[in-house]
């Protein structure tokens, strides 16, 4: 191939949005309510997705403000979250939301991944082409 053609091809490779490729891998779940029933549905959804062959490493659960109590060691879905974490699922929460809810750091599940903004993380993943699920 001529060099200019090669350059054109490289430009195109960069122009073709990366999200298209990332789309083949990730799924981001947003949990944003205080309802335990909806937390259980979300856990079930994630387990179910893994059962269809999607790796936990390609799944991220973002906990938004009002849902923050889901992350307590005493949460009714703590065993599910622990199992999901063990299979590679990332569980994100904003440190600020935890502070606002006055949760004691020692009361929080130890594997929570702290991020600056939950909502910004969901947007970031969608922009990368991840599928978005709001259970």
Stretch that binds its own copies, among 7-15, 70-78, 79-87, 106-114 (CB under 8 A): 7-15
Stretch that binds its own copies, among 46-54, 70-78, 79-87, 106-114 (CB under 8 A): 46-54
With CB under 8 A, what is the number of residues at the site for its own copies? 50
User: 93 has which bridge partners?
Assistant: 63, 114
Cα 107 to Cα 49: distance, rounded to the nearest angstrom: 29
Q: Under rule CB under 8 A, which residues in 76-115 are in contact with its own copies? A: none
- Burial (CB < 10 A; 0-12, 13-18, 19+), residue 72, is middle
Task: With beta carbons less than 8 A apart as the criterion, state whether 30 and 134 touch.
Answer: yes
Shortest CB 106 distance to its own copies, Å: 26
Stretch that binds its own copies, among 36-44, 69-77, 78-86, 102-110 (CB under 8 A): 36-44
Q: Which of 57, 95, 99, 134 binds its own copies (CB under 8 A)?
A: 134
User: What single string gives the DSSP state of each residue in 63-110?
Assistant: E-GGGGGGGBTT-TTHHHHHHHHHTT-EEEEEHHHHHHTT--GGGB-T
Q: Which of 23, 72, 78, 103 binds its own copies (CB under 8 A)?
A: 23
Cα 60 to Cα 68: distance, rounded to the nearest angstrom: 15
Contacting residues toward its own copies, per CB under 8 A: 1-2, 4-6, 8-9, 12-13, 15-21, 23-24, 27, 30, 32-33, 37-38, 41, 44-45, 48-49, 51-52, 54, 64-66, 116-120, 122-123, 126-127, 129, 131-135
């Amino acid at each position: 191939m001529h060099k200019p053609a090669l350059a054109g091809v490289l430009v195109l490779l960069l122009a073709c949005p990366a999200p298209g490729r990332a789309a083949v891998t990730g799924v981001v779940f947003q949990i944003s309510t205080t309802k335990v029933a909806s937390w259980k549905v979300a856990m079930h959804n994630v387990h179910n997705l893994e059962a269809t062959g999607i790796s936990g490493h390609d799944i991220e659960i973002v906990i938004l403000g009002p849902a923050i109590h889901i992350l307590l060691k005493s949460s009714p879905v703590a065993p599910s979250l622990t199992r999901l974490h063990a299979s590679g699922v990332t569980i994100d929460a904003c440190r600020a939301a935890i502070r606002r809810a006055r949760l004691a750091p020692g009361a929080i599940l130890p594997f929570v991944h702290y991020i600056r903004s939950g909502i910004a993380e969901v947007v970031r993943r969608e922009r990368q082409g991840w599928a978005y699920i709001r259970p």
